[in-house]
Amino acid sequence: MLLHSVNLWNLAFYAFMVFMATLGLWDVFFGFEENKCSMSYMFEYPEYQKIELPKKLAKRYPAYELYLYGEGSYAEEHKVLPLTGIPVLFLPGNAGSYKQVRSIGSIALRKAEDIDFKYHFDFFSVNFNEELVALYGGSLQKQTKFVHECIKTILKLYKGQEFAPKSVAIIGHSMGGLVARALLTLKNFKQDLINLLVTQATPHVAPVMPLDRFITDFYMTVNNYWILNARQINLTTLSVAGGFRDYQVRSGLTFLPKLSHHTSALSVVSSAVPKTWVSTDHLSIVWCKQLQLTTIRAFFDLIDADTKQITQNPKKKLSVLNHHFIRHPAKHFEENPSIISDLTGTSMWVPVKVSKWTYVAYNESDKIYFTFPLANHRKIYTHVHCQSTMLDTNSWIFGCINSTSMCRQGVDLSWKAELLPTIKFLTLRLQDYPSLSHLVVYVPSIHGSKFVVDCEFFKKETRSIQLPVTHLFSFGLSSRKVILNTSGLFYNIELLNFGQIYQAFKINVVSKCSGVKEEITSIYKLHIPWSYEDSLTIAQVPSSTEISVKLHIAQPDNDSHVALLKMYTSSDCQYEVTVKTSFSQILGQVVRFHGGALPAYVISSILLAYGGQLYSLFSTGHCLEYATLLDKEAKPYKVDPFVIMVKFLLGYKWFKELWDMLLLPELDAIVLTSQSMCFPLVSLILFLFGTCTAYWGGLLSSTSVRLLSSLWLALKRPSELPKDIKIISPDLPILTIVLILISWTTCGAFAILLTYLYYVFKIVHLQASLTTFKNSQTVNPKHSRRSEKKSNHHKDSVVHHLRLSASDAEDSLRMHSTLINLLTWIVLLSMPSLIYWLKNLRYYFKLNPDPCKPLAFILIPTMAILGNTYTTSIKSRKNPSLTCYSFGVTPSLVIDISLILPFTQLPSIMPKAFLLLAGALVLPGLVQGVMLGNEEKWKPLNIPRNRDLKSGGFKTTDEASH
């Protein structure tokens, strides 16, 4: 039925918006590389030993538990406490299980076995009962306090040991990482209890979906503390993001806020982590073998040989993390590496005087030192680049000082090299090493192995090529390309004018090779200099490779670096690089960064349509279709100017003080602008998406009511249309009181759901009654006309007993369908707290704190009254007070509830001011419809102008009577 009220052009527009939204959603949920993580397996059956907590603690936190992970003989040995290892505490995230510790715990156990348990780690894990803390923030503080108690309990397990630990390392997944950071905000917490914090896919900056004020307050407390006390916080922290595969927590949220200057904090995306080089989704980040191996290597390198615990030296901690997570030189970590190396032994010394050199090593029996004199090369070239496919951890490249043909000692330059999946390489600027006379490349004696070593001298300008990216609004119809004809080993392609998150491109690299018989591998590395979010693409050439290019973090205003596409190529191949805008990925970025704001836009559109229905009801006495008014009223120009105006006024101190005095939350448009996260036209795009969602939601709501009414008719034939219309029926106050008591004693979201179901039941019953009436009218039209005349006569003669006609019922259903659409969103947004309450019902009968309780107290009586409200009262000329109450006060309350919603349920969603404007548009429309219409137009309504102050009612004038 809803489709009939929209013309074909509007229907085509809504279908087109669905297509656009689908493109964005597809990019977010499917537009990424395949999962390249190797699965981590347990060698023996995993066991989780429950650690007994003090009785008071167990009674205070009945839903939480602490476990020790183990396998096989290790698990058997450690059932008898105390322990002797290094304690590590794993904190699961939103709906996470304590058993997720098994991947990293098993890998650490295998590593300890390899070194005969010289050192080993004891992995503990907390059971948070798989709570939805990302959607319900009421338990975050409770979890934080429990973790504090767990740390003290863990340290007591090591009492009496020779190397008893005084602190623990923490690995936090998702919201578990935020809980770990929140420990520092506790009054009695000692910072020395944590010696290292590693977070995995933790949204540090802001919540993914701020559905209640407890989440936003928690975030504000934690981040403000860390920012204000950055100098006093000595806790070494590493945050690892999953990249674009993680669509639950976008990587931009994982970068520690405003701590880039703080030397103890690092933030990196897993695709940029050496020896990992893969993107992980939100769950695989805890079991991805490549990443867990990197983490365990770092943990073992952090051990102090004297204390047999994780080192307390912050410089060493940061050095180890940089070595394993930022830049790996293809060597084992050494705290104080020897810079000078002895180049002795029976070896061949071979001088190389050419500027480009390649050596293929295979079954070498002797060690060979290839020497490159630098004196002549400095006059012509600026840089030297050497690379090797031999990926061992031995030193392989040196610099000699004042040498002629050979040198006894050389400067070990291997520490300045960098590791890639198939090569290790070193690029030096000759100007930085004026004291070096020779460059020496070492080829060890090998048997049965084959590798290739390449070196070349070059000028920087010949390897740096500028490629301006295409315009945002080119929609992929135009492209720009460069061709690499020279035979170099690598190139830097500078992607000019690329630094905003709303930019997204596809780069196509086509390689053509001549005279190549063996398989050749090329590596394309997207390097983002202002954040550690690099990504690698490995291609077998000749081939055509497509690379997706988009950002997690926008380029800071004070940063002048340029994003680079680093190409490690073959000298036998020609490369053609083409860049063009990817429209689908731009839509994906909009959804990724601002998708959480969509519910507020949807509610704004529904409110605007509802205001139009109220206006038509008061002006004509009939309610127009929801879809018609949605198309007419939901316009961006009714919303955007208000936000722009508020954003401008908030720049003035007096308005900001007034805003804060009214306890209004900070406007998200300002926050997003400060974080360089505002897209051009993002408001318009999201408003269109919101209107489209509101339309299809209205269609679904109307269809659902009709289907449920058909089911009702199949089960039980309903009575006729209501004959006696009363807004407050005898059972309504009792029902309202019962539901409010349920909200007070149990859970506000549960009471809201029950009220919503009652409301839907009333509307379904009305729809079924109307269907029965229409069917009977079709069978016996004469009888129906007589009944309608009788109904109209009854309506004129009896004021206090209004009879509902078919047209009145249809008008009422249109109004109620809109309200069901609106209330459905309110119910959906309150579901997380209901799920949390149901999950913990065996521990707590009453949800505390309850974010939905204030909303329930307002919503329950309003929905109860609305369920008994019909449009026929507006056509009653002799009952104006009833009219004002039914369609003046009640709808206003609903609007007020919807306006309260963003502040109680969605405090950090972007268009809060949009909702304010929506209410501001609806209410004036209501007033205008009642007070400012002309007499001809308003005769059915005609509100009396004389009021009897003594009786408290209205005196009906003769004009009003007629």
Catalytic residue numbers, as ranges: 174
The C-alpha atoms of residue 460 and residue 682 are separated, in whole angstroms, by: 40
Edge-first strand listing for the sheet containing 464-468: 464-468, 490-496, 563-568, 520-527, 535-541
Residue 340 one-letter amino acid = I
Report which of 820, 897, 833 is spatially closest to residue 859, judged by C-alpha positions.
897
Contact 291, 37 (CB under 8 A): yes
The C-alpha atoms of residue 526 and residue 530 are separated, in whole angstroms, by: 12
Contact 66, 149 (CB under 8 A): no
Contact 329, 414 (CB under 8 A): yes
Residue 389: Cβ within 10 Å count: 16
Alpha-carbon torsion (426, 430, 433, 438), positive or negative: positive
Report which of 178, 258, 266, 257 is spatially closest to residue 217, judged by C-alpha positions.
178
Report which of 241, 239, 291 is spatially closest to residue 260, judged by C-alpha positions.
239
Residues 6 or more apart whose CB falls under 8 angstroms from that of 775 comprise none
Contact 445, 396 (CB under 8 A): no
The C-alpha atoms of residue 924 and residue 2 are separated, in whole angstroms, by: 27
Report which of 240, 761, 205 is spatially closest to residue 533, judged by C-alpha positions.
240
Alpha helices in 451-503 (DSSP H): 460-463
Report which of 271, 302, 281 is spatially closest to residue 111, judged by C-alpha positions.
302
Residues 6 or more apart whose CB falls under 8 angstroms from that of 355 comprise 377, 380, 381, 456, 457, 458
- Residue 574 belongs to what H/E stretch? strand 573-581
The C-alpha atoms of residue 907 and residue 946 are separated, in whole angstroms, by: 44
Q: Six-digit token pair at 168?
A: 């623990």
CA 587 to each of CA 505, 550, 599, 832: distance values in angstroms, whole numbers, following the listed order: 12, 12, 17, 28
Residue 473 one-letter amino acid = F
CA 96 to each of CA 29, 130, 834: distance values in angstroms, whole numbers, following the listed order: 21, 5, 18
Give bridge partners of residue 89 from the DSSP assignment. Answer: 124, 170
Contact 115, 80 (CB under 8 A): no
Radius of gyration of the chain (CA): 35
The C-alpha atoms of residue 698 and residue 603 are separated, in whole angstroms, by: 12
Length of the chain: 962
CA 736 to each of CA 553, 812, 820: distance values in angstroms, whole numbers, following the listed order: 50, 22, 18
Based on the number of CB atoms within 10 Å of its own CB, is 405 exposed (0-12), middle (13-18) or buried (19 or more)?
Answer: exposed
The C-alpha atoms of residue 851 and residue 845 are separated, in whole angstroms, by: 16
Residue 933 one-letter amino acid = G
The C-alpha atoms of residue 231 and residue 225 are separated, in whole angstroms, by: 11
Strand locations in 645-771 (E): none
Classify strands 194-200 and 237-241 as parallel, antiparallel or unpaired: parallel
Contact 905, 830 (CB under 8 A): yes
